[in-house]
Amino acid sequence: MQNELLPDSFNATNKNEGVTPFFALHDQQLLFNTLMQSPAFICILKGIELNIIFGNYSITKVFGERFKEGKTIAEALPELEGEGIIEIIRNVFISNQQFAAKEMPLHFIIGDEPKLAYLNFNCEPYGNERVQVAGVSVFAYDVSEQVIARNAIKASENKFRKLIYSLPTALYTCDAEGKIILYNTEAVKLLGEEPAIGKKVGSGTWKMCNADGTPLPVNEYPVMLALKEEKITHHELIIKRADGTHSHVIPYPQAIYDSAGKVTGAINNFVDITEQVNTRRQLEQTANMIRDLYMNAPAFICTLKGREFVYELVNPEYQKLYGKRKLVGLKLMDALPEIRNTEIPDLLTRVYETGEPFVGTQMRFLLARDEGKEPEETYLNFSYQPMYNLENEIDGILVFGYEVTNQVLAKNKSEENLRWVLESLPQITSASSSDGTNIFFNKFFFEYSGLGVEEATKNGWNSIVHPEELENVLREWESCKREGKEYCMEIRLRRNVDRMYRWHIAHITPMKDHNGMVTQWIASATDIHEQKIKEQQKDDFMSIASHEMKTPLTTIKAYLQLLEMTIESKDAEALLYTRKAIASVERLKDLISELLDVSKIQHGQLNFNFSNFDFNEMVSTAVEEIEYNSPHHKIYKTGSIEQPVYGDRERLRQVIVNLLSNAVKYSPDANEVYISVNQQPGEIIVAVKDSGIGIAAVNLSRIFERYFRIDGQELHFQGLGIGLYISMKIIERHRGKIRVESEPGKGSTFYVYLPN
């Protein structure tokens, strides 16, 4: 390669080819002078020792006295020892071969300083007529400056490359034609491929698009504009990668100029703004959503700015509250002068100053819906929320709410109606809120109790309930409130006029909303004193009568049995009547004993004898007894209980006998009765099934009541209506349950459940 740092003539000589140098003999002095003054280092060395026989000014200028005729080169420049150059020159002498080298680094001592110099060398063997090689002429040219400058450029280029590679933004460079020269890893990531070096921008798989997604022609790529020195605006573009993904970027292309001001290439830098774009989009979406929400909300929303509460944002629902009145931009007090004397300004100021939100429920306002219109009664549910600025200081209030006028008026109306109904009831009635706070007592309550509004509101019914029942009443009331259930009980309430406690049947009933939440409690009491007393008198009479009849009946039975023995087989007819009389007396005794049981139950005196007994045997005895007395019916028993059962054998037998005799009694047209005994985990189940007349649904819950008999049956079926009542009490005493399933005309099944 031609060295542009050396004169062309040198290069030509160096190659020893082409034109032969020439000079005229008479110009020898001129030639000598030229050599002497040449800026190149020229010396002539003789013999294999390389003795200096000539050195031009350039050499002596640099090395001074050291470079003298008569010294060998090694003596003149001892620092070159080990650098290899002396050996090279000697080799030229020995081999008679020219040597040329470029930019050979050599370490010299100049003055007292070491110096690295880069020399272009040309060493030629020379001879004369006697010897072919007499010595070596050395021509050297100092190119240190160029080498150093070029190294510096290389170093800076390297730095530049390193810089590009290490930059955290995508970057590539191209030449004046737009061919890629260099790119960094960020560019690979952004473009989704390794750009092909030497290929034109735009020939890769990635494409550039406008921000709206339309493709951008390659000659309009910002880097191309930079190469054409056209004006570049730094605006958002999209880079679409081959895999379908894309990034939002702002390109910053920059043309590169040479020293003559000519564009030699460009560097293009992309700032990836994808994240910002996405965030911006999200923010826009959120803002749109909020705006939509705000504008279409079925609630009224407005913002009041600053201490003066200036209407800033007002949504359509809020505007509806005030018709066509102007709000936005006006101070609240100026827009709605009518609120000046209400509590609103104070409420707002408090929220503004304390930061504590205010929530108003069913608050009553008088709103003039339009300028000049009469204010209307309006009920609103709303909140005042403080709004904060970027410094976290309160700078306004957000008002949010909805109108509940219709609901409130409807509720008031329905409450009014309810009160009207309660007021007119001829019963003691009160209403309390869901938490039990007394809110209403009817006229009758005040009349009966003689209490004043204040005392009634404070203590409710407590002060008129009989002390013996109060504890029970309070306990039941608590469980009603806890479970939202209704309750019914017989209690005595004190009448004010005569201070007498009268029996009442009291109901506590919850009123629930459509979600099943209790909204109010209604308590009412109906006077049943007269019935209660009559019942008691009846009970007392029954009790006394049965007691009184028990002894004479036993005597009658004894006499009849004597008579039976006396008649024996003498008079068959008389014997038959006597036996019938005994059976009737027996039945009467059973009835009286049942009546006595009722009386005992009433007084809590029904005795029980608990023990372990054979349940199967007990059931079988009962079955036999009924079969003996009712020969027309067949009783089928299934199932059995293996282990002994703990309970009152006699009382349980009484229950089974009662159920079986009812089954027989109420099945005049059927003759089969089934009894099954089953052991389940934790309980014994006895079922008595008949195919008799059955029980209508309305009576099912009542047949266990004392003295209850189904209307119209008295003529056909004898009984007092106490058998099932006693049975239920006996089963309850065993912590068991009794229930019935029945269908009129088809039959009934009674179930007894006993824990075991």
What lies within 8 Å, CB to CB, of 657 at 6+ separation is 622, 625, 626
Q: In terms of CB distance, is 399 or 623 closer to ligand ADP?
A: 623
Binding residue (CB under 6 A) for ligand ADP from 703, 730, 738, 752: 703
H/E stretch holding 599:
helix 572-602
Q: Is 654 in the site for ligand ADP (CB under 6 A)?
A: no
Q: Does 690 bind ligand ADP (CB under 6 A)?
A: yes
CB of 656 to ligand ADP, least distance (A): 13
Report in angstroms how near the CB of residue 641 gets to ligand ADP at its nearest.
Answer: 23
Where helices occur in 167-184 by DSSP H, the ranges are none
Count of residues engaged in binding ligand ADP, rule: CB under 6 A: 22
Task: Name the DSSP class of 66.
Answer: G
DSSP-assigned beta bridge partners for residue 636: 674
Listing DSSP states for 602-630 in one string gives: HTT------EEE-HHHHHHHHHHHHHHH-
| Interaction between residue 739 and ligand ADP (CB under 6 A) | no
Q: Which stretch binds ligand ADP (CB under 6 A): 255-263, 533-541, 618-626, 688-696?
A: 688-696
* Among 202-210, 231-239, 296-304, 702-710, the segment contacting ligand ADP (CB under 6 A): 702-710
CB of 319 closer than 8 Å to CB of 354: no
Closest-CB residue for ligand ADP?
719
The residue among 597 and 690 lying less far from ligand ADP, judged by its C-beta, is 690
- Identify any residues that bridge with 248 across adjacent strands, giving them in sequence order: 238
Q: How far apart are CA 606 and CA 594, in angstroms?
A: 11
Residue nearer to ligand ADP on the CB measure, 358 or 708? 708
Q: Both tokens of residue 193?
A: 């491929």
- As a whole number of angstroms, the distance between CA 667 and CA 27 comes to 167
Please, what is the minimum distance in Å from the beta carbon of residue 695 to ligand ADP? 5
- Is residue 738 packed enough to be buried (19+ CB in 10 Å), middle (13-18) or exposed (0-12)? buried
Q: Answer yes or no whether residue 666 interacts with ligand ADP by CB under 6 A.
A: yes
Which is nearer to ligand ADP, 489 or 685 (by Cβ)? 685
Q: Mark the segment that binds ligand ADP (CB under 6 A) among 51-59, 123-131, 142-150, 705-713.
A: 705-713
Of residues 281 and 587, the one with the C-beta less far from ligand ADP = 587
- Asked if residue 748 binds ligand ADP (CB under 6 A), the reply is yes
Closest CA to 563 of 587, 580, 550: 580
Q: Binding string to ligand ADP for residues 706 to 735, with x set by CB under 6 A, is what?
A: --xxx--x-----xxxxxxx----------
Sign of CA dihedral 314, 317, 321, 324: positive
* Window contacting ligand ADP (CB under 6 A); options: 22-30, 406-414, 485-493, 660-668: 660-668
Longest CA–CA separation in the chain, Å = 204
With binding defined as CB under 6 A, does residue 663 bind ligand ADP? yes
Task: Report in angstroms how near the CB of residue 511 gets to ligand ADP at its nearest.
Answer: 35
Q: Least separation, in Å, of the C-beta of 744 and ligand ADP?
A: 9
Helix, strand, coil: what percent of the chain each, to 5?
40, 30, 30
Q: How far is the CB of 675 from ligand ADP (least distance, A)?
A: 12
Name the DSSP class of 272.
Answer: E
Q: Tell me which of 125, 135, 460, 692 binds ligand ADP, using CB under 6 A.
A: 692
* 220 in Cβ contact with 214 (< 8 Å): no
693 makes contact with ligand ADP (CB under 6 A): yes
Query: What is the closest distance, in whole angstroms, from the C-beta atom of residue 593 to ligand ADP in the complex?
Result: 13
Least CB distance to ligand ADP at residue 535 (A): 16
Q: Angle 649-665/723-733 helices, nearest 10 degrees?
A: 150
Residue 251, C-beta contacts closer than 8 angstroms, at least 6 positions apart: 222, 223, 232, 234, 237, 268, 269, 270, 271
Decide if residue 135 touches ligand ADP (CB under 6 A).
no
For the CB of residue 678, give the shortest distance to ligand ADP in the complex, in Å: 20
Contact string 601-640 vs ligand ADP (x = CB under 6 A) = ----------------------------------------
The helix or strand, by DSSP H or E, that contains position 56, with its residue range, turns out to be none
Contact 119, 142 (CB under 8 A): yes
The β-bridge partners of 179 are: 200
Nearer Cβ to ligand ADP, position 278 or 713? 713
* Token digits of residue 497: 């006029």
Chain contacts with ligand ADP (rule: CB under 6 A): 658, 662-663, 666, 690, 692-695, 703, 708-710, 713, 719-725, 748
